[in-house]
Chain A
């Protein structure tokens, strides 16, 4: 994760002309890069759709722990009781 604002749900509104980072102008916005790749790379559709999913707030208790172990134990899927994602149709 190299977004200086540690954003998890896409690029902020501060992206500079040409797709450069607001905070570090010498760096391309990581979300611009990720979006371009999600479009251009030959990935399965289901992976591409992940880009638009609403990701929950980061659990700061997991800082410094192994993401692999958290993945296997599904600890990384735990969210606060009030984090409710509605599947609103449009």
Chain B
């Protein structure tokens, strides 16, 4: 059983997940370097699938490489680049390599990336993909063919608590839960009030759904501005932008904002841990986890 599943389903321990930096070049050395940074702190780490519509090393290859370097992968599959056959073969390929944590996402549109002229696929949507994955765990492909033994997936998804329509996001989380998702990694959210309303709502109607809100570590107001302008579904309120912009030490202020958002998120109902996205790429991830009261699995030298 995956550590992620064991911890979320059979314990009350807080769970921390992170995002693996996408691999383009750098070979296994870059995988090793990234894994060494994250392994002491995180229970599982996302192997992304062409994030922000940019081509990178494939989700399956990344997940396998991560596992080789001691990380437990959560393999993401997005619906933008693959039709229903390719999505099922991603899942079967993951199962072949013993990767069982699968997270299914709609995915950013091709226009968010550097190849906007590409054909967008979206043959199925994330909720349909979750339902297909759940049926696979019962030993059936979408067409009804038998898979024996059935893959033992632990299924997750993503939801954006900060995007309209706010009330419906709770119902959409329920829809994902009913389709088969056991955990949700939430999109980065700079509105504590929206996150709180979402978590309270989900805890009420789907109390078994495990929520992992995302906090992002950036170094400056420019980093926040980039997310606000370029990343689909993320809005950074002017109060936060101004606060970081006007600080004498922007890096420190941005860090403090992330810590405040994280501390608040961890108090919310239904929340079982955090997902951390690190765009600082420095040692501050160690400080961040320590400041949240975590201890590393082993001493970092």
User: Residues of A at under 8 Å CB distance from B?
Assistant: 4-19, 22-23, 29, 31-32, 35-36, 39, 52, 54-58, 60, 80-88, 90
How many A-B pairs with Cβ below 8 Å? 134
CB of B278 within 8 Å of the partner chain: no
CB of B272 within 8 Å of the partner chain: no
The prevalent SS among residues of A at the interface is loop
Q: Compute how far the CA of A53 lies from the CA of B160 in the bound complex, rounded to whole angstroms.
A: 20
B142 touches A35 (CB 8 A): no
Q: Given known contacts A12-B106, A13-B159, A90-B178, what 17 new A-B pairs fall within 8 Å (CB)?
A: A5-B106, A5-B122, A9-B128, A10-B172, A13-B105, A14-B232, A15-B233, A19-B165, A22-B232, A35-B167, A57-B124, A58-B123, A80-B142, A82-B144, A83-B142, A84-B135, A90-B177
A88 touches B177 (CB 8 A): yes
Q: Which A residues are in CB contact (< 8 Å) with B158?
A: 13
A36 touches B128 (CB 8 A): no
Ordered by A's residue number, 15 sampled pairs between the chains whose C-beta atoms are within 8 Å are A5-B109, A13-B105, A13-B106, A13-B163, A13-B232, A15-B163, A19-B164, A22-B233, A35-B165, A54-B178, A57-B132, A58-B123, A82-B140, A90-B177, A90-B205
Contact code string B96-121 (vs A, CB < 8 Å = 1, else 0): 00000000011011011000000010
Instruction: Give the number of chain B interface residues (Cβ < 8 Å).
Output: 51
B232 touches A7 (CB 8 A): no
